Amino acid sequence: MGEAVLTVNMEHSRGSQLPVEAEIETAHSKEFLEELRHVTEVLPERINIDAESVEQGLAKLVLTVIEFIRRLLEKQAISRVESGNLTPEQVEALGLALMKLEAKLQELKTQFGLAEEDLNLNLGPLGRLI
Amino acid sequence: MTSEELEILGESELSLLETLDHVLNLGLVVAGEITISVANIELIFVGLNLLVGSTETVYKILGKRLDNLDQSERSTDISSD
Amino acid sequence: MNLYAYCLCQEMDWSTLETVTGVAGARPFVMPYDGIVAVVSKVDGSPIAVTRENVLSHERVISHVFAQTTPLPFRFGALLRPAEIDLYVASNRQALLAMLARVRGAVEMSVKIIHEAGSGGDAAHGRGEPAQAGEGIGRGAMFLAVKQRELAEGKMIEGRAREIANWLAEHLVGVVNDSFVRVRPTAGLAVKVAHLVERRGLDEYREQLKRAREERPELLFLTSGPWPPYSFCDLTT
């Protein structure tokens, strides 16, 4: 491809500048420290993706979809309750069913050793599923 | 550990975390790349350890936070590095 | 052979990399691709440990490139075989060239805002706590009531965060080429914004940002930069 030359596309004047260190400025270190520590919480997610077995990967996929549907059902149930079209008995039955679903899903997550944040699908340009 | 030294420590951790927040999740991603390893606590721990030079002092500083961790995880971290 | 990939950039004077040490103490070198250059170093095959040392080495190499030209940094930990890099550059060539043109002459500045008052507000303090189950309200109904409240709280916090993001954007019209906003609808960090700012325009950017901060003292700010454009590397957009 050719020699290393200073091309005319250089963004700066001839001769490189010194590398610039990103500076951080805040008057609230304590608050932001607390917040930023969450960054390290994402690490388990990335390691899990690399290390997981086929079985766990499949479980993750299936449970993510179920979790997605579960949340949808919850939201739908809430708007039905808010609409006021349900009898108290119906509201109670709906609530109990959703409660059981949530508990069951929690059980399955534990069985497969998956944490809350493990259930998610990156759909590329569509963002994350949950 | 003077409060001034503690402040400097805090700032270094902040700087490291802010860097992590950029490099860990953002940037170009190639499908199928082999990527990262290691437990998260080690990162902060190692950082502080290097700054302070003493495991006991680090534990004193982290104090409450480490109390929440597993005993076993703690002892693994002491033996490494 | 495995390579640690630091960044992609347009052609540059890579003699400046000769004195830099990268991840695992290896010397970085370049792989040229006609208009695009990959900056890499050799490593053994095991996944890269997230240690302070490795993270700083990653940043150090990219900083050296950044001093000359704005690169597209790889996410930390990218280990690839040479053929994989070839393929990546070849199959994303147009998008990469477009991205490089977009970030040329610019840097990423980061703004994080915590809105303490926005941490759930009144609703989080349990006002209007529903009656205990058994007092005429069944467990099922209670469950739904709790969920309903959580949903409403979440929406409110998210709305507040969006409002902050929009307000900030208005303050920075004209000094920012592009921005990437992440709104986190939980107590604490409300908004994370990455701004693509021209190097020439940095002073004005900082000035506008300062004015914004002064306007709303109830918001806690953390600003950092300049960074290489990590937040502007999404090839799918």
pLDDT tens-digit map of A65-102: 888 888 888 998 999 988 888 899 999 999 999 999 99
- Report the complex ipTM: 0.81
pLDDT above 90 coverage of chain C, percent: 59
Residues from chain A contacting residue B20 (CB–CB below 8 Å): 36, 39-40
Averaged pLDDT for residues C36-64: 89
User: Who among C116, C188, C227 is closest to A22 (CB)?
Assistant: C227
Site of tokens 């080495």: C57
Tell me the residue type at C118.
G
The pLDDT value recorded for residue C120 is: 44
Q: Is the pLDDT of residue C204 over 70?
A: yes
The pLDDT value recorded for residue A97 is: 92
Q: CA A114: distance to chain centroid?
A: 13
Question: In the complex, which subunits touch C with 3 or more CB pairs below 8 angstroms?
Answer: A, B
Does the beta carbon of B6 lie under 8 angstroms from any beta carbon of chain A? no
What is the tens place of the pLDDT at every residue in A47-68? Answer: 555 555 666 667 777 888 888 8
Tell me the pTM: 0.73
Contacts of C212 (CB under 8 A, 6+ apart): C167, C168, C171, C172
B24 vs A15, residue with greater confidence: B24
C-alpha to C-alpha distance for C150 and C152, rounded to whole angstroms: 5
- Alpha-carbon distance A10 to nearest alpha carbon in chain B (angstroms): 22
Contacts of A41 (CB under 8 A, 6+ apart): A117, B40
Range with lowest mean pLDDT among A99-113, C88-102, C132-146: C132-146
Pairing between β-strand B36-37 and β-strand C48-49 as defined by DSSP bridges: parallel
| Lookup: tokens for B71 | 């005993």
What is the tens place of the pLDDT at every residue in B21-48? Answer: 899 878 998 876 666 665 444 444 444 4
Q: Are C6 and C39 in contact (CB under 8 A)?
A: yes
Tell me the residue type at B28.
L
Contact B40 A50 (CB under 8 A): no
The pLDDT value recorded for residue A51 is: 53
The pLDDT value recorded for residue C20 is: 92
Q: Which of residues 55-114 of A touch C (CB under 8 A)?
A: 74-75, 77-78, 81-82, 88, 91-99
Contact A16 C189 (CB under 8 A): no
Q: pLDDT category, B8, cuts 50, 70, 90?
A: low
- Alpha-carbon distance A75 to nearest alpha carbon in chain C (angstroms): 8
User: Who among B24, B35, B41 is closest to A42 (CB)?
Assistant: B24
Residue A64's nearest CA partner among A122, A127, A126, A125 is A122
The pLDDT value recorded for residue A45 is: 55
Residues in chain B: 81
